[in-house]
Amino acid sequence: MNKVNVLVTGAGGIGHGSSILKALLVSRLDFNIIVADANPRLLNTANVEIKELIPIASDLRYMESIITLVKKYSIDCIFTGSEQELMKLTEYKKEIEKYTKIFLNNKNVVDLCKNKILCNNKLDELGFNTPKSISVKYIDDVDKISSFPIVLKPNFDSGASANLYVAKSRDELFFMVTYLLSQKIDIIAQEYMEFNQNEYTVGIDSDLETGEIVGSIAMRKFLEGVSILAMPKDIVISSGVSQGEFKDFSNVKRACEEIAKGIGSTGPLNVQLRVINGKVQPFEINPRFSGTTSARAYTGYNQPEYYIRKYVLNDRDAKTSLNQLTEGYVVKGLDEKFVNYG
């Protein structure tokens, strides 16, 4: 087969789309990579030659633009790199797969994970210790909350810790809930779990048809520098910019594999958790590739490479792409790119 033609959407900036792109760039495979993004400035951060500007996912022209790119570049497979596009492309997966392969989890899992209250309830049913959570739809719902600190975040779509706040008192709670409700945000209030270098992000990959677990990898987070939100010093919350260490962490991985099987995952899944008193306590599940995808690839665990080898190249040894070959840590810095108007 000639070079694999790969389309990565949402590839600009620092989201999980850019992380997928970086993993592809360190792969052993030979690709023609086409990237797409709705933001013309962020698009220029992608380190490839072919860049395409597309409408935002809510635009009526979005799906037409994706199909156009698939035909224009004879795309063999698509990776989606933003939350909004994940939801859109999940709805139209059957239509897209008339033309090419797209690597998404199944719709039931996507729908479950996008609703944090429902997802927490499911995890409780499966026997996992999730933080106590309350749906806050009206200001009077704050009366249900009696312990502090409490984490407030959107029940739907809170990628990169957007609109996430921590209330340490009833006055702060009332103020923050009033603000979030004024923005028409459906809120989940979640008990704060003590931080003691005990937060992990775990990737679990499952067969797209059978759901069989094919690999998992865990990173213990370093919540420092760009990885921590500006919070009171006794409260530590991740900013969504991940850095940390990769070791075996077999107990953590095993628990997250059980989560993936329990919810019926088929494809990439990412679990955020803290370990409290020796027990895994998941607080967020994303049914997609992670912002840590590129960091994982540096250890030898290259998720995008695996899915291409397995489902595009029909490689029987594809699982070797999910072998963690080394232990170590990854740290993140900042860089800039100058774009000349001329």
Under the banding of pLDDT at 50, 70 and 90, the label for residue 195 is: confident
Domain boundaries, the chain: 4-103, 132-191, 194-330
- Count of H-run helices and E-run strands, the chain: 11, 15
pTM reported for the whole predicted model: 0.92
Q: How many CB atoms lie within 10 A of CB 10?
A: 27
What is the Cβ-side half-sphere exposure of residue 168, based on CA atoms within 13 angstroms?
A: 6
pLDDT tens, residue by residue, 106-122:
999 999 999 999 999 99
Q: Say if residue 149 is preceded by a cis peptide, omega within 30 of 0.
A: yes
Is residue 307 predicted with pLDDT exceeding 70? Answer: yes
Q: Look at residue 158 in the predicted model and tell me its pLDDT.
A: 54
CATH superfamily of 132-191: ATP-grasp fold, A domain (3.30.1490.20)
Under the banding of pLDDT at 50, 70 and 90, the label for residue 208 is: very high
Q: Which of 155, 159, 24, 161 is nearest to 84 (CA)?
A: 159
Region 322-328: mean pLDDT is 92
Q: Domain 4-103 - what CATH class? A: alpha beta
Q: Look at residue 34 in the predicted model and tell me its pLDDT.
A: 97
pLDDT tens, residue by residue, 261-300:
999 999 999 999 999 999 999 999 999 999 999 999 999 9
Residue for token pair 């370093």:
222
Question: Which ranges in the chain belong to alpha helices (H)?
Answer: 16-25, 40-43, 62-72, 83-91, 93-96, 107-114, 116-125, 170-182, 250-263, 293-298, 303-311
Q: Look at residue 325 in the predicted model and tell me its pLDDT.
A: 87
Under the banding of pLDDT at 50, 70 and 90, the label for residue 232 is: low
Under the banding of pLDDT at 50, 70 and 90, the label for residue 236 is: confident
Q: Specify the long-range contacts of residues 221-230, CB closer than 8 Å, at least 24 apart.
A: 222/329, 222/331, 223/195, 223/199, 225/331, 225/332, 226/332, 226/333, 226/334, 227/332, 229/161, 229/164
Question: Which ranges in 184-317 belong to alpha helices (H)?
Answer: 250-263, 293-298, 303-311
* 326 or 255, higher pLDDT: 255
Note whether 4-103 and 194-330 share their fold. no
Q: Look at residue 227 in the predicted model and tell me its pLDDT.
A: 75
- Rounded Cα distance, 64 and 82, in Å: 18
Under the banding of pLDDT at 50, 70 and 90, the label for residue 189 is: very high
- Rounded Cα distance, 264 and 242, in Å: 26
| Domain 194-330, CATH among 3.40.190.100, 3.40.50.620, 3.30.470.20, 1.10.730.10 | 3.30.470.20
